[in-house]
């Protein structure tokens, strides 16, 4: 009889991400909408995605609030208080990255897609309406990702 794997050896539950959070995670620098939101995003981005073996973290694409949104003060159940704006943002990100709801990919695969499909200058269009856009942290992060790919 085969024994069940101990809980510690089982695969972790995939992160659930709405499309715009892929680029948000790439550009994240420790700022957020509230202390709870910032702590949660730091735990996900720094504690999982940018940690050792982070490129292997599995992410499932969703069309509602996700693991990043969990403590957001603008969250109302599984929607955002500014849902039309966020839905449009997600639609542009999904198109730019070729993401489909229900798709699962690793963070490493997401980084490759961002590198291949997104140029920093396109963020003005893709991220239109995002309050963080003016900080240029996402543009800088995409530019760094492009530079890393061009190094021998």
Rounded CA-CA distance 51/55 in Å is 8
Rounded CA-CA distance 79/111 in Å is 26
Tens of pLDDT, residue by residue over 96-148, are 999 999 999 999 999 999 999 999 999 999 999 988 888 899 999 999 999 98
Structure tokens given for 67: 């693991």
What is the percent of the chain where pLDDT is above 90?
62
Residue 8 scores a pLDDT above 50: no
How high is the pLDDT of residue 143?
95
Strands annotated E in the chain = 15-17, 58-61, 75-76, 79-80, 104-106
């Amino acid at each position: 009889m085969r024994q069940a794997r101990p809980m510690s050896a089982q695969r972790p539950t995939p992160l659930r991400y709405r499309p715009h959070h892929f680029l948000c995670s790439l550009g994240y620098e420790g700022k957020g909408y509230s202390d709870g939101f910032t702590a949660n995003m730091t735990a996900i981005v720094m504690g999982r995605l940018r940690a050792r073996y982070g490129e292997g973290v599995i992410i499932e694409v969703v069309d509602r609030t996700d693991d990043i949104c969990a403590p957001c003060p603008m969250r109302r159940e599984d929607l955002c208080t500014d849902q039309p704006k966020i839905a449009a943002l997600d639609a542009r990100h999904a198109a730019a990255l070729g993401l489909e709801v229900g798709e699962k990919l690793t963070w490493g695969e997401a980084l490759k897609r961002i590198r291949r499909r997104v140029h920093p200058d396109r963020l003005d269009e893709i991220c239109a309406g995002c309050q963080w856009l003016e900080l240029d942290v996402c543009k800088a992060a995409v530019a760094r990702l492009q530079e890393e790919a061009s190094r021998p």
